[in-house]
Amino acid sequence: MKNLIKVLVLALAFVSPMAISTPGVQAGTAQAKPTTKPTTKPTTKPTTKPTTKPTPNAKKTL
């Protein structure tokens, strides 16, 4: 999980400066890195909860 986040952050860091190619953008991407890490962790938790909810509904239909 941590490795995936690092790869995504590194990919974003490489893509954003290359797309715009300006030295000022690198400062902006450095600030974006820490903000992307905490946001990815909470998003994975809520996605697992809804997947467990449909299973009791399937049992009722059986």
Q: How confident is the model at residue 9 (pLDDT cuts 50, 70, 90)?
A: confident
- 3-state SS, the chain, equals CHHHHHHHHHHHHHHHHHHHCCHHHHHHHHHHHHHHHHHHHHHHHHHHHHHHCHHHHHHHHC
pTM, to two decimals: 0.26
What value does the mean pLDDT take over residues 24-44?
51
Contact 5, 40 (CB under 8 A): yes
Identify the band that residue 54 occupies on the pLDDT scale cut at 50, 70 and 90: low
List pLDDT tens digits, range 36-52: 455 555 555 555 555 55
Residue 14 pLDDT exceeds 80 = no
C-alpha–C-alpha distance, residues 29 and 11, integer Å: 11
Domain segments of the chain: what residues?
2-54
